Amino acid sequence: MKVIAVAIALLTSQVTAFTFVAKSHSASTKLFAERINTQVDLDSPKVATMEKLEPGTKKVYCRCWQSGTFPLCDGSHMKHNEATGDNVGPLIVSVPKSE
């Protein structure tokens, strides 16, 4: 009886050792086969924007690449989120007022 228990334990451990477990990968490590940017400065090797903000101001930047006012957000991500169930939103940068 003890031999049967050992054999079952051994077989069970071997089955779990070869069981495939799917791992989820975050979108940040995933390579995309298609372009993300389909409309902004397509001839540039890299799209980069630099702005200086004055104290007491804020800017709302697009992160979905769909804004008609890129690099600023125009809310285009909301339509995308409704259609896909995604949760993308803008980057909001603010500079506190000097005291």
Residues identified as active-site: 46
Q: Is 89 exposed, middle or buried (0-12, 13-18, 19+ CB in 10 A)?
A: middle
- State the Cα angle at 84 between 59 and 22, rounded to 5°: 110
